[in-house]
Amino acid sequence: MNRVTKISAWLAIGLFIASALAIFPGAAAAAQSGETPGIMQTVQYTEESEGRVYRGTLDIRIQSETGGSPPGELVVTDPSGDRTGPEATDIHLSNPMSGLYNLRIIGRKTGVYTLFLKAYSKSGSTSDVRFPHMTIKGGEVHDYEVNFSARGPKLDVRRTRITPE
């Protein structure tokens, strides 16, 4: 490889990195704050002498792919056993605690849905997880495990089973 080729290769790599940071500003914000970008950045509160300080939120939303109302409802159980739902379209969690959440989509009619999970951090970065083109029948239950860690923060989501209600 000659010198011009090497310089051109390094220039291309530099431009690629710069464009990636411009396209994905959440990654740039995470890199500046020392966070490690993962599948999804999420949020936390910290206790300080003057009370709670805003760190972010976690939103979970279901949407019909054919328009109209979603074919299922959302139910979330947090690590302490507290349950939210059933909700027809979305659940908004402030101050999510670390641990394993159980997310259930309860089918109310046959249809196709997309599940969206999105986190917003104090620094302005966001991360998204989505499950598109999920077919559900009335009476079916789709279970998802949502492993959330306030340290980092990190979120790992996977569908674990489909069962009749």
**CB neighbours of residue 24 within 10 Å:** 15
Q: Any idea which of 4-8, 44-48, 123-127, 143-147 has the lowest mean pLDDT?
A: 44-48
Residue written as token pair 């083109």: 133
29 three-state secondary structure: helix
pLDDT reported for residue 93: 85
Among 74, 138, 135, 137, which residue's Cα sits nearest to residue 102?
74
Grade residue 75 by pLDDT with cuts at 50, 70 and 90: very high
Task: Indicate whether 22 pLDDT > 60.
Answer: no
Q: What does the pLDDT read at residue 124? A: 64
Residues 74-85 have a mean pLDDT of 91
Q: List the beta bridge partners of residue 120.
A: 57, 126
